[in-house]
Each structure stands twice: as C-alpha cells, then as structure tokens.
Amino acid sequence: MSKRYPKQVLSARFMPDSVTVKESGEVTADITWSTGAQVRRYDWWEDKEFIEELSMKDDHVDMSRLNSGAPFLADHRQSIGYVIGVIEKAWLEDNEGRATIRFSQRDEVAPITKDVQDGVLRNVSVGYQVREFEKIEQDEDLPIYRAVDWLPMEISLVAIGADAGAQVRADASE
C-alpha cells in the first residue's frame, strides 16, 4: 500500500522587479520555469500513482526548442490566439530552468502583461516531452520516475503550476 501524500502547497518569494519595460513598449521578464520539484502523478494505463521528477542536469535537458524562439503561452493552450509572448533565451542555473520572456504587444495581451507587472499573475509551467525515465524504487513510498532525457517545448503562464518554485523571478539583488 502506498502512502498518501498531502496536496503540496509551497510558497515562493515573488517580486515583479524582474519585469522590464523599454521605451519602445517592449516588456520582458525573467522566470524560473522548473526547479525539478517532485510532482505526484497518476498512470491511467497502469492504475498507479508515482512521483515524477525532472532532472535539471545540463546533459539531461535538451534546450534547443526553448532557445529557438519557443512560445510563451496562456495555460498551455496551443493555438495562435493563446501565444502571449516568446522565449528570448533559456538556460539552466543552480539546478533550475530559467528564461527571459518577451510579452506580445497585442492589445489583448496588455491586461495579462499588466497583471504580471503588478504581481497578480506569477506562476509558470513548462510543457515538455520525456524521452527517457530513470525509475527509482522506494521501499514504502511511491516510485520516482526521473526524466533523464527530456525536451522542454513551451512555457506557460498559469493560475496554478505543478512546480510551486516556477515563477516570475524577483530581482537578483534581493
């Protein structure tokens, strides 16, 4: 019998100081799109729970898609109307996935951009494809499936993300 895990509610410090507005009206922000946090998942085919973990090691993450202008989406919705920006650059640092995103200047995106600037919207989530898992069995806990070869494909602004540490970043000086 597997242990029951309570719903995780983690807090992360947020300050909208990483949002930059240029004279041209261009708005960018630095984000953390993954901390490699363990997330409880359910396998519908096997009818089992497990823990998923994204390895944040350089040689486990294929950054090519993010660094070729991947979309910044609203709620992982994959259609043109939900593209709210673009990934300008992405990198791994201190066991975290980080990126600089640039918001679209379309009129309908302006309220979203404003809510990010005001600290109202702050959570992000990464959409990804796993190519290889490493399974780690645990005696009394759920097995861990660690993604050791995976491809981030998009980053989304979301109301609630699986990784509570994935957020719009505070100024590094704080």
Burial of 122 (0-12, 13-18, 19+ CB in 10 A): buried
Give the span between the Cα atoms of 27 and 139, in whole angstroms: 49
- For residue 152, the surrounding DSSP H or E stretch is strand 144-158
pLDDT-derived band at 58, boundaries 50, 70, 90? very high
Cβ neighbours for 20, distance < 8 A, ≥ 6 positions apart: 27, 28, 29
pLDDT-derived band at 166, boundaries 50, 70, 90? confident
Give the span between the Cα atoms of 84 and 105, in whole angstroms: 9
Query: For residue range 78-121, what is the model confidence (pLDDT) as tens digits?
Result: 999 999 999 999 999 999 999 999 999 999 999 999 999 988 99
